[in-house]
Structure 1
Amino acid sequence: MADLSFLNGVELAELHTHLGFSVSPTMLWEIAHNQGLKLPTKDYWEFEKMVTMYESKDYEEYLLLYDLTEKITSSPEALFTATETAISGAYRKNNITKLELRVNPILRSRNGERDLDHLIVYALHGMERACLKYPVEAGFILMMDRRFSLEENEAIIEKAIKYRKRGVVGIDLAGPIKRTKNSHAFRPKDIKQIVKKARDYGLGVTVHTGEATNVEEMWEVIRELKPERIGHGIACITDKKLMKYLKDHKIVLETCPTSNMNTKLIKDFDEMRMVYRTLIENDILFTINTDGPEMQLISLRKEYEKLLDNAILSKEELLKANEIAHKASFIQ
């Protein structure tokens, strides 16, 4: 087991973690019962398996985990509790002093039943309370979705702009690439203008791409949306020109090593080592993140430990990744 004493006193930053996946199964269980929600099971241990990566899943199965955690945290009070718990735990367990949390308010609106302003404000209250208790700088990234209509994504941008002085620091685009018979054929250019509007108001822009998507989609995202950061982005290692573009434009990758192994996008530590060595050899800026510590059964410190134990990154490289995270944060 790696010696992590080099992290003693080091203030860590995490830029890529989803709120629903940052709350422990026990807390999700309590939140659900406090709301009187009907869960898929009355057995806690079965429930725990439903909200964690207790075993590897393919990417499509992994996405299904979002449905249950979103359902549970789909009330103002639940978002308050989830946010306060996630930020407080990040500091106590990992000495994370800069944390960005991602949330899609529309996916928590119960098909429009919940008011978006109530959901967002309660989440921000939870953030403010946690930051009063602990020396943490925190911010929210509001997420658009590839499955949404332009009007729905625009509504998220408008809320991000509205609450940019209250703690919303950026916007994101996520959601599965795979089309369904009811979904439109999304293209990044569809949201180009609303993303520009968000940027003009001072919000940071990051996009999930290069995770389960190929380099062609990464190129399209970069050209049309011009993000400062990319969620995951590991597909870039197959394209020299893309890596040069990322380097030249100082676009930062938010890498999530355990998450990518759990979803079988990276098959083993040898492949993970190759991914990170390629990024370093091509001078790509990257950060280390959990994607959601409770769901992934990991923590940021354990991510560092795993990378060190398996000779993937050195202590110096890990400290540099943390330094990049602090500098690349949308929290000002």
Structure 2
Amino acid sequence: METKTAVELENLADLHMHISASVTPEILWDLAHEQGMKLPMRDYFEFAKSVTIDGNVGYEEYLKMYDLLEEIQSTPEAMFRLAEQVPTHLYQHDKIDLVEIRMNPMLRSRSGKIDLDHIIVYTLQGLERASLKFPRLRTGLILSMDRRFPPEVNKIIVDKAIKYKDRGVIGIDLAGPIDKNFSFEPIEGLAKRIHAEGLGLTIHTGEATNADEMWEVVTKLKPNRIGHGIACVHDANLMAYLREHRIVLETCPTSNLKTKSVKDLDEMRFNYQTLLEHRVPFTINTDGPILQKTTLPKEYEMLIENHILTMDQAQAANQLAHEVSFIK
């Protein structure tokens, strides 16, 4: 009896995918020219290299790549097109039948010149259209707050998520570059509102930050899930807390290598073995397949072929992803 290889797995779920990093260079190029944007380079092939990662670039350089990506994706029409095309491609080519796409509407408003409601609604309509084409495909939108934003701006994003929670917004994220002046205190009240409204809450932490910050996140904000969270492997008490409170890690293997959050495959093997030993719940995700030059099947294939996970462990992670999705 033949056993399935990782790339043959079906019914995959990706819970941590930034739409900014999930669009092909060809589409980005077309969108930029349709909008009359002046790009930093005139040659298409030079542009294509600038919106995908070759080698390992480091965390800060990686985040800078998002500035151009989000600027190109900053019209309601563009978001409608991408919100339909990205899940469609994932379903047709990678057999992903559940995808949670996240984006920051404020970073697409061109400094307030574009209405946030238009950006959000057009995105939701694009996701809905993708699901209409493929009834088995389940999609949801996570709106991202940002560490660089003042509390009143992040509050607006939460307000919008609540406003559209019955139309396809399923949760809230906190992302953005590490800022030494950032405080989680103003986010505590927002987190309580998010939980009270029945929306999911996921926080980027433990990727470029340490276990101390993760402790602050889990105790103050009480997230349902954590984006990345690999720093927890250095704190047994934190791993016990994550296990006991069923806080699920959204791990992104290739992304962690390319941002140098994880040094190499040996360190990655240690990380996952430690999570398994301490029974910390985790899922496998891409972070953004185009920017990372990966796919979700390739993520599983890498982990299995390098003896980081067994096939059973990979299947368990994928099953968990379906179970803890914010999509009702």
Which category of TM-score, normalised to the shorter sequence, fits these structures? Answer: over 0.9
**Within the alignment, does 1:218 sit opposite 2:214 as a pair?**
yes
Q: Secondary structure at the match of 2:170?
A: strand
CA-based RMSD:
1.1
- Show CA shifts across 1:283-304 (max 9, x none): 0000000000010000000001
**Within the alignment, does 1:43 sit opposite 2:43 as a pair?**
yes
Q: Contact conserved, 1:20 with 1:82, CA < 8 A, in 2?
A: no
**Within the alignment, does 1:315 sit opposite 2:307 as a pair?**
no
Give the whole-Å Cα distance in 2 for the aligned partners of 1:31 and 1:311.
Answer: 41
1:5 deviates by: 3.8
Q: Contact conserved, 1:255 with 1:287, CA < 8 A, in 2?
A: yes
Give the whole-Å Cα distance in 1 for the aligned partners of 2:4 and 2:161.
Answer: 37
- Name the structure 1 match of 2:106: 106
- Segments of 5+ residues of structure 1 without an aligned counterpart are 180-184
- Show CA shifts across 1:263-313 (max 9, x none): 111111111100000000000000000000010000000001111111110
Q: Secondary structure at the match of 1:227?
A: coil
Q: Contact conserved, 2:6 with 2:304, CA < 8 A, in 1?
A: no
- Name the structure 2 match of 1:182: none
Q: How many residues align?
A: 325
Equivalent residues in 2 for 1:255-274, closer than 5 Å: 255-274=251-270
* TM-score normalised according to structure 2 size: 0.97
Select the residue among 248, 253, 262 that pairs with 2:249. 253
- Name the structure 1 match of 2:29: 29
1:204 deviates by: 0.3
CA 1:239–1:9 in 2, change beyond 3 Å: closer, same or farther? closer
- Show CA shifts across 1:99-128 (max 9, x none): 000100001101111100000001011101
Specify the code of the residue in structure 1 equivalent to 2:149: F
- Name the structure 2 match of 1:170: 171
- Name the structure 2 match of 1:236: 232
- Segments of 5+ residues of structure 2 without an aligned counterpart are none
Equivalent residues in 2 for 1:149-188, closer than 5 Å: 149-179=150-180, 185-188=181-184
Give the whole-Å Cα distance in 2 for the aligned partners of 1:292 and 1:172.
Answer: 15
1:85 deviates by: 1.1
| Runs of 4+ off more than 3 Å | 3-9
1:53 deviates by: 0.7
- Show CA shifts across 1:118-170 (max 9, x none): 00001011101111112211000000011101110000000000000100000
Q: Contact conserved, 2:6 with 2:297, CA < 8 A, in 1?
A: no
Select the residue among 192, 200, 203 that pairs with 2:196. 200
Give the whole-Å Cα distance in 2 for the aligned partners of 1:84 and 1:191.
Answer: 31
Q: Secondary structure at the match of 1:164?
A: coil
1:8 deviates by: 4.4
Give the whole-Å Cα distance in 2 for the aligned partners of 1:139 and 1:226.
Answer: 21
1:4 deviates by: 4.6
**Within the alignment, does 1:54 sit opposite 2:54 as a pair?**
yes
* TM-score normalised according to structure 1 size: 0.96
- Name the structure 2 match of 1:10: 10
Q: Contact conserved, 2:80 with 2:125, CA < 8 A, in 1?
A: yes
Q: Contact conserved, 2:73 with 2:108, CA < 8 A, in 1?
A: yes
Specify the code of the residue in structure 1 equivalent to 2:23: V
